[in-house]
Structure 1
């Protein structure tokens, strides 16, 4: 099987629409369907090719997806996983051992914190925490796990500065790039050693599958991460991998509309007297804007804001015809999540994370304005 690839000279839309593509073959579809078999015939003689010998360590469908992610990341070694948490777990458990020290975000994705505090600590790994804005206790650390922009607070870490400090201290840096996506930010180009992402969100983009991946340019790190996947069996399903590969073709246009909508919604909310603490890195005047402009290629479709209270959020959602209450983000449909209801984040009751979809900007603004007005009137 021969494959095609785009070059560094191509734009985001071209790369996304052709990522993971194979050479055209007469009579075959442009993007072959998923290979669902778990067992393949072995080579007739010992020492033959290892590819596709058994479905757990390798599969042609998620190999295509890994190649596509590699093109989006700018040429890297990618290992795909069954979920974002499986990808994070591979970095933490595949690279750390008893006696090591890891620093994780105190304000990042909430599920990472109990995983580290409970399981890593039980295996003899010292766990430190630090907010996205720092300072980071890097002395004596083995690994820093960063998340920027942070989820759900939307703070932005100065990646080149933190990566340089970590390297000077002898620590590796892994960056959760879920919110930004590789089209919004390339942490490996900014000094990081690994990138981890939940592809369940914007990369897949349709709210209908679970996936994750880890990316690196280091052969040894890539081998350790892939070995962890083989040992634990946290592999992506071929059908999910195929769906994600299909979805990547529209990534550039989806992100462009979502980012335009997010900026417009941030401006709308900033002008509302009942809304406070609007955060979006692309918003001029946002505390993260200056750093974000230096290191992000685009600002994404996610923002956060504080509404008066939980009851106000419920009234607004009940009045909206376009926004739904959902706990994921990156979907083509706008979703609003009141984070305090889950208990994992230190946020007020009225704090919401808004994931903008690809609706027409004017329609989305009109809908949210009417929903806010209705929530105010009904209160």
Structure 2
């Protein structure tokens, strides 16, 4: 982690302290209510649960420290992505999305935005480096891409897109604001699934959008209020708790991923290994320039679908699940979801297990 990341992580842990009085709880209470005492409408304060809850606001304060920007929270990562897109698009607009990024974003774009009159263009992540964004209204990028882990220079893409008159949205789920800061690199919005590493325990769905644009911030809050896409207080409480250990977990996850990637690269059963923090990886130079570390995701191929499924079944320290970023290491064969990857392609999310124990389990399963 960088020094600035350390400062943000330290501030995050004590963000409630200035507002605490004698006997107040250090941990934010779970405010489970739909209504508030409201004898006078114009007197301020909370007035209805769809408009705001103290427990969300505690999480948004944490996320604002990490992003150095205002944040609006949502009940899932896809709710955050939807909010970012609906806040910036209108009929007749042109949207650019990655063809090799998270597939649900493409499904949303083609299945719901296109019928509303939005023109959707799909580009591979690597093609963003040279793409002509003339005529685009929103350029949506994801780097490293999920699941292939291709990276693109965020600052260069953002500069070219904004020069063409487009707004830029970055999905920063795979890196989190502790490892990569798209707003600092020129993006207008950051969207993320806090379900992953920020919450960290695979027990809650959550997401957020961050921006430094006051007009976009107001539009995002209006979208949440009017669409009803609001997070619950119990979920917000869990994310607040998870965020307090994010820096600690990420440090271990990234260090372990770097070591495991290096060892996998030399294994005879492994093909086409991808890890952005590994020298020689196609994403290494760009990732090193704009991210604090290489992340915790590794992609590689085994011989075929049967070999991949057998490996996942045999390894006792890898959970077979479709999410990533949790305390448990997890992996899946991504072709089963229809991603354009080989049948034996595996996306591995490295957790917080002791690394030598984890490697021993992986090596034994590969054999």
TM-score, L = length of structure 2: 0.96
Equivalent positions of 1:195-344 (< 5 A) are 195-343=190-338
TM-superposed CA distance for 1:319, in Å, is 2.0
CA distance in 2, matches of 1:255, 1:9: 11
SS in structure 1 of the partner of residue 56 of structure 2: helix
CA distance in 2, matches of 1:175, 1:312: 34
SS in structure 1 of the partner of residue 100 of structure 2: coil
TM-superposed CA distance for 1:92, in Å, is 1.2
Given that 1:156 and 1:292 are in contact with CA atoms closer than 8 Å, whether structure 2 keeps it comes out as yes
Given that 1:21 and 1:31 are in contact with CA atoms closer than 8 Å, whether structure 2 keeps it comes out as no
Structure 2 counterpart of 1:81: 74
Structure 2 counterpart of 1:114: 107
Given that 2:274 and 2:299 are in contact with CA atoms closer than 8 Å, whether structure 1 keeps it comes out as yes
TM-superposed CA distance for 1:93, in Å, is 1.5
Structure 2 counterpart of 1:155: 150
Q: Deviations over 1:30-87 (max 9, x none)?
A: 1132101011111x334211x310000111110111111000112x111000001001
Structure 2 counterpart of 1:127: 120
CA distance in 2, matches of 1:64, 1:251: 16
**Stretch of structure 1 that moved more, 32-41 or 347-356:** 32-41
- Structure 1 position 62 matched with structure 2 position 56: yes
Given that 2:16 and 2:26 are in contact with CA atoms closer than 8 Å, whether structure 1 keeps it comes out as no
Structure 1 runs (4+) deviating above 6 angstroms are none
TM-superposed CA distance for 1:12, in Å, is 4.5
CA 1:154/1:19 → structure 2, altered by over 3 Å: closer, same or farther?
A: farther
CA distance in 1, matches of 2:282, 2:186: 23
CA distance in 1, matches of 2:187, 2:150: 18
Q: Deviations over 1:80-106 (max 9, x none)?
A: 000010011111122211111110111
TM-superposed CA distance for 1:320, in Å, is 1.3
CA distance in 2, matches of 1:19, 1:360: 30
- Structure 1 position 348 matched with structure 2 position 342: yes
TM-superposed CA distance for 1:372, in Å, is 0.6
Structure 2 counterpart of 1:30, from 5, 9, 26:
26
TM-superposed CA distance for 1:337, in Å, is 1.1
CA distance in 1, matches of 2:209, 2:303: 38
Given that 2:9 and 2:66 are in contact with CA atoms closer than 8 Å, whether structure 1 keeps it comes out as no
Structure 2 counterpart of 1:166: 161
TM-superposed CA distance for 1:157, in Å, is 1.2
- Structure 1 position 187 matched with structure 2 position 182: yes
- Structure 1 position 363 matched with structure 2 position 342: no
CA distance in 1, matches of 2:125, 2:14: 34
CA 1:21/1:178 → structure 2, altered by over 3 Å: closer, same or farther?
A: farther
**Stretch of structure 1 that moved more, 17-26 or 65-74:** 17-26
CA distance in 2, matches of 1:28, 1:219: 32
Higher helix content, 1 or 2: 2
Given that 2:12 and 2:244 are in contact with CA atoms closer than 8 Å, whether structure 1 keeps it comes out as yes
CA 1:94/1:250 → structure 2, altered by over 3 Å: closer, same or farther?
A: same
SS in structure 2 of the partner of residue 195 of structure 1: strand
**Stretch of structure 1 that moved more, 8-17 or 138-147:** 8-17
- Structure 1 position 52 matched with structure 2 position 34: no
Given that 1:56 and 1:233 are in contact with CA atoms closer than 8 Å, whether structure 2 keeps it comes out as yes
Q: Deviations over 1:127-158 (max 9, x none)?
A: 11111112434101110110011100001111
Given that 2:309 and 2:333 are in contact with CA atoms closer than 8 Å, whether structure 1 keeps it comes out as no
TM-superposed CA distance for 1:187, in Å, is 0.2
Q: Pairwise CA RMSD of aligned residues?
A: 1.5
Given that 1:16 and 1:250 are in contact with CA atoms closer than 8 Å, whether structure 2 keeps it comes out as no
Given that 2:271 and 2:302 are in contact with CA atoms closer than 8 Å, whether structure 1 keeps it comes out as yes
